[in-house]
Structure 1
């Protein structure tokens, strides 16, 4: 399209809605379309069509004029949770077939004998032992038994598996045996997905390497088909720019890189939200200073995803589990630390046989959706309760693109009221209050459990449903400032605009602070630097444009678990660099565990480098909002200040702060401002909320 603007697009496929953010270089615009679970790509194209109509161009022209299309999806995570990944075999060193069975973790409640022992990702019938043994120093004790490998391949053929993972002992020191197995698999099982553990995740712990290799291999057929299909349909629809997928760390990957190692896309969608929230707090909340903590809760139609920004950095974890911690399956990779609970707008409310109310874990999802959507759903949801309470206007939902059926919402919530023996508004209040309580409990676990005081943090609400109870959550936590970003209803998709292209490489090389092998570490850094060169070439940029973040997994001698600490400058030219590294480890240990041992010996294990290209937007993230006339409606505010329905003003924020009770209408969301709260608008368009009406200051 000659002379057309150059847009950037980011999408996030949720359980209920597919969010799209369009960046034209001056402002962000937010759009939503219903998710299509049977064909997610169709929902993405529907969102593109909605955005195209809003800017007055054809969808083909919008895609043709977009230089980058960033995509976030929980496709891989959902496949793992539902057990719909590809049938996978595992090849291991002879004598060690039970790596996945012995695992790590255990019962959360050690005396609850009703909890079944977790099943391994790969059953014993698909686990094959091959002869050959390497030692910890890389020497070969027994040559690889290629006949055993070929025999295993024949058994794999008979089992009709679609993927194979290989995890041999000490392959992190010498990967020659695994590489040879990979060659034989490629020769005799062409077309079958293969993952070698030392190439994917070269860490010393066998369970973590085996688990990550199996997860990755099992996802390859599914995600390769998904990514190829999405890219093909986007290209057919006119996309001329680059397709990127968001990784679990909140960065982005080239589409082919994501297909080659799909394990990195497990938390693809939710991982984008905290980066956007950090940007919002830094640019708009004056009181936080240069270093701040923030609590991020992203409430969509299906779940509420909770994450942290600590000391101005998004909190990540290497203890990433699929399913329950300790009883699920560990990925072995860093991920944004996200805790998800079933408390979204579509979460279903039920009354059990004892008359107790429950909200979730069931969800109405996108199909049929809440009762008020008029698509056949009859169960009461949080969204239905919000309509009954007056927090959502049925005529302006999603900026008027979807008219809600208030009568259907009242019938659904009325059924809950009848079971509880209360009136309609009381039932709606109970549903909303219980959803709020569940969110507060989850936030307290992730904050207090990591030494973060919620009272000193900023609460950031994202997702279309966050505004419904952000004030009540802030009051329960004692948080002084809450923020609904201008693009809050699509917070995760907006975070995709900040996601740099990145790749992480690692090598295991044990050494210690008292006998530091500077030469050996130098060799590791040189090898990792060569991988950075290859990454720069793959994305087509000069090495000088790549930002490097070096780190190492370290621990005190005889400790079991490691901490990731930054490595100064990625080099050790003198003793000063080692002293800085050791000091940083002591500081990190004190921060994580409340204590340290300044005289203790530090052991260093796995060295890493994160290479990234692109940085966060330097301009403010401003969002366009449709103009609405101020009105009034009956609203029932939930929580401790609940006083029944009252007529309150419904308006947009402008230059003048608004005191509750009121409803603030924002882009694709409503913000409930109960009595005693105050909201003001930052220059960037973010809604700054003081739960108890103290003065709000914003950066100009």
Structure 2
């Protein structure tokens, strides 16, 4: 029996489920796209894999690995459709989830809305126990109170329990004893210990992380178990792996017990794919732009790598307001996500102004043009009216788009109230969503002290190439790169991601009083644990690399910064590393002040899998398919060339205006652009310098 040579990446988004198949034996890549099935996401996954294997002339026996990422975790938290959970905490800290940081994300909003805790107060139970800030036991655990709390939770019919005790990141013994007692008192009810999912300082964030994990755990456990079982029942011999929010892959076993780690798995895959494409075409300074049906994600990539963060905020009450959501201690790729996608709904607000998003039509009912029951015009509908999308070649011709229904909906809902023509409204929708994305990107990059003009825009996602030109013009960028298979690039990201895991140990210490033997012990433990987890994903034991960092600050500061650590840890080397990191961020270096360490972090990873840099060879034949009327701000509506991307030849330079069509996406190219394919099949668009300035 031959060894399986196929690997499949599956990205479940809010509107579409994307697929990429890599045939390692034949060095070829196939792609696919299906509408997401929100009632049962596994149905679209299984149907899409079956179809993709049919196109490849293969069977599921030939598949060596399936890597999956999903928005199910974040959607469950946003929509508040998770499990009925309870919380056990230290006496005196029952209301921690409501008090939060006691900070207002909007100082001037007198009716400020705060995120509702996932655990209502009656299901939060406090028990007697107490650790000091140094980890010493001040009060022993009262086990009788724990058993009483367990019986109360049983009476409240909880489906999962979170446990978060004060300072348990220093000594998890009390939490582990509570976990053991809950297993006795509530058999079959899953328990999440904060010292397992987020063993680090800051009680509010740690409690939220434990609660979110418990909240989604029953749902994700059932979903992943069912999906894995069905894939193996159909003949999959290889493993199912999951993409984590920090860009690494992990086993189903790990994901089922730590589903909070999947909260940003889809966006992380997009950034990972961008790094892969950038490395292949020699771009190291990029803005990764991933626009799908529901959201747009922007990620700054410098030196070929995306930045990482140890915190993430979920389910914001005000989508664009930092501090209005549930703060989590979860390692993630540092990116921004806004409610701007092909399904974003356009409306006229109370002031008579055109607005776009963040509400989305999703896949059900979807945009008006899908003909699936949608009645409210969306960004995709506007793009169809402007000529950017072909009504006959959407998804390669598999899905026809109803232009007449869109014209009627836009005329009735928007053009009439606004006193504008249908074309003017469509152009307005396109412009508004582009400006929303540009404003968010400017703020994101400005916070990092960077100038967006020094970067290229790498655009992907089903709607990304449609809007990349307009976004690049607003950001004054000169170059756009659209990879082959751009519409499903996030799914490609799953297949180029390395097995990876992030671990942490916390304990606030002044640098001058750090016990370096204890630090060495922490790192030895984390290295052993991470190596075991990565070997379980298929990594070779000798192929695991480690990267150390620490969360540090000047004594007296309220917040910390991430500091990459040198190989040899001494007070002098760690202080120098902190001063260098501080200077990079704030352009100042303050020597002679006391410094403290909050957490020691370890990022472990294995080698990235190899995927062909060129996704298929060009097909012989004329690349120009014809012309259609397309609207641009500079020209209005006029006939423009339409090209078949699969027939374009590398090295041939063409001039806009034009659109380039492929099965999963369409690239819009303005009249002030030169464009063509590079040696790897990436579509490279250069905007005239005078127009980009």
TM-score by length of structure 2 reads 0.94
Of 585, 590, 601 in structure 2, the residue corresponding to residue 597 of structure 1 is: 590
Give the match for residue 477 of structure 2.
479
Contact 2:500/2:534 (8 A) holds in 1: no
Equivalences for residues 40-439 of structure 1 within 5 A = 40-57=41-58, 61=59, 63-104=60-101, 106-285=103-282, 288=283, 292-324=284-316, 325-415=322-412, 416-439=414-437
Q: Deviations over 1:71-110 (max 9, x none)?
A: 0101010000011111111111112212212212633320
Give the match for residue 319 of structure 2.
none
Matched, 1:499 2:493: no
Aligned mates of 2:14, 2:635 — CA distance in 1:
31
Give the match for residue 527 of structure 1.
525
Aligned mates of 1:541, 1:270 — CA distance in 2:
24
Q: Deviations over 1:493-534 (max 9, x none)?
A: 111112222222221244333334222222222222332343
Please state whether the residue corresponding to 2:232 is helix, strand or coil: helix
Aligned mates of 1:309, 1:523 — CA distance in 2:
33
Gap regions ≥5 residues in structure 2: 317-321
Give the match for residue 607 of structure 2.
614
Matched, 1:17 2:13: no
Please state how far the C-alpha of 1:596 moved relative to its aligned partner. Answer: 2.9
- CA RMSD of the aligned region, Å? 2.2
Gap regions ≥5 residues in structure 1: none
Aligned mates of 1:596, 1:81 — CA distance in 2:
41
Contact 1:389/1:429 (8 A) holds in 2: yes
Aligned mates of 1:105, 1:530 — CA distance in 2:
39
Aligned mates of 2:258, 2:114 — CA distance in 1:
29
Please state how far the C-alpha of 1:280 moved relative to its aligned partner. Answer: 1.5
Please state how far the C-alpha of 1:455 moved relative to its aligned partner. Answer: 0.2
Please state how far the C-alpha of 1:673 moved relative to its aligned partner. Answer: 1.1
Contact 1:132/1:145 (8 A) holds in 2: yes
Q: Deviations over 1:121-176 (max 9, x none)?
A: 32221111111222233332222111000111110011001111111122122221
Please state how far the C-alpha of 1:213 moved relative to its aligned partner. Answer: 1.0
Please state how far the C-alpha of 1:685 moved relative to its aligned partner. Answer: 0.7
Aligned mates of 2:292, 2:564 — CA distance in 1:
34
Give the match for residue 38 of structure 1.
39
Contact 1:390/1:633 (8 A) holds in 2: no
Aligned mates of 1:467, 1:327 — CA distance in 2:
31
Q: How many residues align?
A: 680
Of 676, 685, 691 in structure 2, the residue corresponding to residue 689 of structure 1 is: 685
Contact 1:625/1:666 (8 A) holds in 2: no
Please state how far the C-alpha of 1:239 moved relative to its aligned partner. Answer: 1.6
Please state how far the C-alpha of 1:454 moved relative to its aligned partner. Answer: 0.7
Matched, 1:637 2:631: yes
Contact 1:105/1:326 (8 A) holds in 2: no
Aligned mates of 1:78, 1:624 — CA distance in 2:
38
Aligned mates of 1:172, 1:650 — CA distance in 2:
58
Equivalences for residues 509-528 of structure 1 within 5 A = 509-528=507-526
Please state whether the residue corresponding to 2:434 is helix, strand or coil: helix
Please state how far the C-alpha of 1:659 moved relative to its aligned partner. Answer: 0.7
